[in-house]
Amino acid sequence: MEVKQISTLVNSAITDSLGGAEIALAEDLSNVVDVGASLENLVKTTTNLYEKFTGALVNQIGKVIIVNRVYSGNAPSVLMDGWLYGSIMEKIGSELPTVTKNDSWDLKDGQSYDPHVYHTSKAYAKFFNKMTTFEIDKSILDRQIRQSFQSASQLNSFISMLFNEVDKALTIATDDLIYLTIGNMIAVTVQSKKPQVAVNLLDLYNKSNSATLKAADAYHTPEFIRFAAYYMSLYPKKMSALTKMYNLGGKQKFTPTDMLKVVTLNEFQRAAEVFLQSDVYHDQYTALLKGDVVPYWQAPGDNFDFADASTVKVTPIKDDGTTGEAFEQSGIIAVMFDRDALGVANFDRRVTTAYNPKGEFTNYFYKQDARYFNDFNEQFVVFYIADASEAV
């Protein structure tokens, strides 16, 4: 073990901490803080691997810390029921019947009123028949790594950590696929340029207030956040009314409030809490709608900056199954959608194993299948902040 004498540094630190004078010097902490070393670097300084009494006894590992944390993910929960047999997911909808004249209040003598006329019902169906799949393979040795641990408990903790890393990888992969599923819906909705579903809050704010606020300043401007919170709060009630307005398929739809999903970008959510609600007593009147909060829509960039976290950059697939134009838009702060508008159906994660008796190891094959879908006949609204010249 490397042992450092630090009495001089301790006395200097105590003098500084008592105050009354300028800090003496920028302390060199290389003698205090151990930042760890790889095995390769550790053995390069072989004198530090022996005790200082005889110089012949090798230092032993006294404590083993297994870093094993469960990762629950950040993506919104959009998992749906699955099924064991069959392939196609069919969604059936219908149209409102037409209102006709009630003849019972306008009867005429001698006229026939035929009760046997057939009135058809208008229905439509969409079929979803695409599945995604991938797997992660992991090999676990049977005997070969026992020599590196001091007990069965330590070995089991190590193997548990390896399996947990697989779980984390699967969770991150699922999160990213959910983000992309939402991102496709965002892209097609914004590219539609339908103002009822692609809502540029900054443009609405500037027009209603004769203002010239820029996107870079909007998300931490209290007046704008107040306007955004108000405008967004109108939509749950609007979307609960039967209308064709809030979907791209032109279908008659409504979304009860208990079936409405709200997802807000963390950067904007926190801005509303800090810059807006801290100024008012009754914060329930200015609070954003409750729902899921995401750290980003697609990727955090270099530093989780608003410009990166609020960006969706994809080449979407449109409602007719064709590939759309490349899409890139920053400033996306929230989405609201019917729970049937998008989701993950028939999610199936499983693991199979195979033992290799010659090599004495076991292979684990983690497989994951799922169906990520968008239905543009259901209600979906995007709220974003963009300068007029930067809007898609």
Q: Which amino acid is at 359?
A: G
Name the domain count of the chain.
Answer: 2
pLDDT, mean over the chain: 86
196 falls within a domain? yes
105 falls within a domain? no
User: pLDDT digits over 325-339, tens only?
Assistant: 999 999 999 999 999
Closest CA to 140 of 353, 368, 375: 353
- What is the rounded distance in angstroms from the CA atom of residue 312 to the CA atom of residue 186? 8
- What is the rounded distance in angstroms from the CA atom of residue 259 to the CA atom of residue 5? 66
31 falls within a domain? yes
Q: Which residue has the higher pLDDT, 183 or 289?
A: 183
Q: Are residues 216 and 344 in the same domain?
A: yes
User: pLDDT digits over 293-307, tens only?
Assistant: 999 999 998 888 999
Q: What share of the chain has pLDDT > 90, as a percent?
A: 50
User: pLDDT digits over 52-81, tens only?
Assistant: 767 778 877 777 777 777 878 888 888 887
- What is the rounded distance in angstroms from the CA atom of residue 1 to the CA atom of residue 50? 6
114 falls within a domain? no
**Residue ranges making up the domain that contains 273:** 134-384
Lowest mean pLDDT among 8-12, 116-120, 158-162, 231-235: 8-12
Q: Are residues 237 and 361 in the same domain?
A: yes
Q: Are residues 141 and 45 in the same domain?
A: no
88 falls within a domain? no
Q: Where are the beta strands (DSSP E) in the chain?
A: 89-94, 123-128, 132-141, 198-200, 260-265, 292-294, 312-314, 327-329, 332-338, 342-356, 361-374, 380-384
